[in-house]
A and B are shown apart, each in its own frame.
Chain A
Amino acid sequence: MDVNKIKKISAIFLLVVISAPCLSEAPSPIEGDAEILKVLKDSLAGSVVNLEKTIERCSKIANDQSPAIIQGKFDGAKSKEDLIVGISHFYFKNMFECEKEARSALAYDLAMLISFNENFKIPTEDIELVQSKLVLQPFEQIGYQVKYNRLDSDLKDKLSEKLSGEPFDLLKVLEANGLSGK
């Protein structure tokens, strides 16, 4: 048997395990439960498509941003690091806000699937990993918010006035402010 065949069989096996989570150790779901599972999966698929589209839309906004934002110069920062923190905070915040509704919907659908699966003692670790690593906001981004909160009020006001709102391109703004190199 060649490697591709083995891979195909493995993939089908994985799909069967995920799609029909009611093997020997777990009690068999009744017919209604199978229908509920289908509804949950359909909803999940819709949320995935919606988030994919939202991410593409938000990325386009960042790429098409106005030159005024890209060329923004920010005086008053005590150090290069303060400026990087401020710009980074708004970069992550704006992108997250743009995608938040779609992410929340997908996180909810994944939570529903996890909750449903728990009734049948099906391993949900993988679904939880997808939720935490791909859908929820990374804690590193909150870290930038924490650092931003410590900045001087004057700098925060200037940054907020210029950067708060729509997603933007991080590298372009860093480069426009001479922050891309050493």
Chain B
Amino acid sequence: MPCEPILSFKIDKESQAALERIEEKTKLGKLLATTITAGVFNSIFTKNKAPVAGWNITTTDWDLYAQAVNAIPAITKRAIQQEIDFMILHYSQRGKYDHNHAKFWRGMKDGCK
């Protein structure tokens, strides 16, 4: 099942901070790979700056994301998944629920497979 587009998504501070942590872990994963194997590493996190204002996430964006995630080594992917899990649980708390954020982090979790 493809991920639904999210229109005019205004990301909050918690999600922004989580995206920055994910970007950092992606870079560290790249460093680890470079140190040992000089392996290929590709991810949308290194290409895109996290959005501050309204952001339209299209089906194509999700497709690209799913492809990028598949290219990430398992250790880095697990660290990123942990951040995503924390955000899914954050938006499951009473008073924290936001439909777009919940949808966004669920899409990040499994690429809407």
Q: Which residues of A contact B (CB under 8 A)?
A: 11, 14-15, 18-19, 41, 44-45, 48, 51-53, 55-56, 59, 79-81, 84, 88, 91-92, 99, 126, 129-130, 133-135, 138, 140-141, 170-171, 174, 179-182
Contacts and interface: CB of A to CB of B under 8 A. Distances in A.
B12 interface: no
Contacts of B36: 41, 44-45, 48
Q: In the complex, which of the residues A19, A56, A141, A182 has the most CB atoms of chain B within 10 Å of its own CB atom?
A: A182
Contact of A130 (B28, B78, B82): B28
Contacts, number: 76
Interface in B50-101: 73-79, 82, 85-86, 88-89, 92-94, 97
B86 A140 contact: yes
A85 to B, nearest CB: 9
A55 B109 contact: no
Nearest to B79: A134
B74 A138 contact: no
B38 interface: yes
B89 A84 contact: yes
Given A51-B75, A84-B89, A133 B25 contact: yes
B82 A138 contact: yes
Contact of B75 (A45, A129, A134, A141): A134
Which secondary structure characterizes the binding site on chain B?
Answer: helix
Contacts of A59: 74, 78
Q: Which 6 A-B pairs have the closest CB atoms?
A: A55-B74, A52-B74, A45-B36, A134-B79, A182-B97, A130-B28
Interface of B: 24-25, 28-29, 31-32, 34-38, 73-79, 82, 85-86, 88-89, 92-94, 97, 102, 106, 109-110
A109 to B, nearest CB: 11
B93 A134 contact: no
Nearest to B98: A182
A84 B92 contact: yes
Given A18-B34, A48-B75, A55-B74, A134 B92 contact: no
Contacts of B110: 171
Given A52-B73, A81-B94, A134 B32 contact: yes
